[in-house]
Amino acid sequence: MSVHIKLLAFLLTTLITVSAEADVLKPVDSTLSDYAALLRDAGYELYSFDISDLIDNQYTITVTVREYEGDSLINDNVSGWPRTFSNRTMLSEFSEEDRNSIKREDMYDAEKGIYTADEKINIGFLPETDNIKGGKNIRVSVNLPQQGSTIIQLELHPIFFPGSPTPLYRYSTRPFTTNLWKENEFTPLVLLGSAWYDQKFNVIRFCGESEIAPDLSSDILKDTPHFYVIGVTVTKQ
């Protein structure tokens, strides 16, 4: 074998070896977006809303869930007892002894005397669970990271595919298009709505707008047989 052929064979072998090494699948660190996708696949949904413009004043934020069947409001407060939060905690709310033990660097805004404050409210939906009636529930988590959280259980209504006795529970979430709040008025944030049977296409579906109009005029609400509206009322203290 000539020197040139030996050299060519060596170069080809080296190239194949390098190429094979480059194609090896190596483990890498998972990202937060990877975890978010995994949670969504498992039935978790999360919406966050900016409330930072409230911080200059002290407000009570009351969480309310309204329930509708078709276009009829059947319950204006499914959430039961008042679910209320303050958007901030002031240093003046503590005793003098406690105030003296709080460091300025641990405060949200020492100059304004704000000890803690929340700049957002999180509304999360947990996977379906069985209830004692043999049906399904979805739990809604409402959280202000610095001020606390609450869980609200919502009962789901079944739908049926024609000819099948098996109840189906298919609910989806949608945010509302605008969230301009007015003091002492209910502001809708997120919709939880049931799918429906589409006779024309013989399917169960939940199709339509990706965001819901605050006045509930969206076309999707003309088809969904049952839905909840999760929202808040902001009141100045």
Give the whole-angstrom CA distance, residue 164 versus residue 160.
7
Q: Strand pairing partners for 192? A: 173, 228
17, 9 Cβ separation under 8 angstroms: no
In a domain, 202, yes or no: yes
Sign of CA dihedral 215, 63, 65, 190: positive
pLDDT of residue 219: 94
pLDDT of residue 186: 96
In a domain, 97, yes or no: yes
Gyration radius of the chain over CA positions: 27
pLDDT of residue 204: 95
pLDDT of residue 9: 55
pLDDT of residue 24: 80
pLDDT of residue 114: 97
pLDDT of residue 81: 86
Give the whole-angstrom CA distance, residue 70 versus residue 174.
17
Query: Over the chain (237 residues), what is each successive 10-residue block's mean pLDDT?
Result: 54 53 80 90 94 96 97 94 94 94 96 97 96 95 95 97 94 90 95 95 93 95 97 96
Domain count, the chain: 1
Percent helix, strand and coil across the chain, each rounded to 5?
20, 40, 40
Nearest to 189 by CA among 214, 166, 218, 172: 214
213, 179 Cβ separation under 8 angstroms: no
pLDDT of residue 22: 55
Instruction: Report the 10 Å Cβ neighbour count for 224.
Output: 23
In a domain, 79, yes or no: yes
Structure tokens at 143: 């959280």
pLDDT of residue 177: 93
In a domain, 15, yes or no: no
3-class SS of residue 3: helix
Type of residue at 167: P
pLDDT of residue 187: 96
Domain span at 124: 47-236
pLDDT of residue 4: 57
Give the whole-angstrom CA distance, residue 59 versus residue 234.
6
pLDDT of residue 179: 72
54, 233 Cβ separation under 8 angstroms: no
In a domain, 24, yes or no: no
In a domain, 9, yes or no: no
In a domain, 25, yes or no: no
pTM over 0.85: yes
Nearest to 88 by CA among 63, 124, 60, 62: 60
51, 226 Cβ separation under 8 angstroms: no
pLDDT of residue 25: 85
In a domain, 31, yes or no: no
Name 202's Cβ contacts closer than 8 Å, sequence gap at least 6: none
pLDDT of residue 180: 81
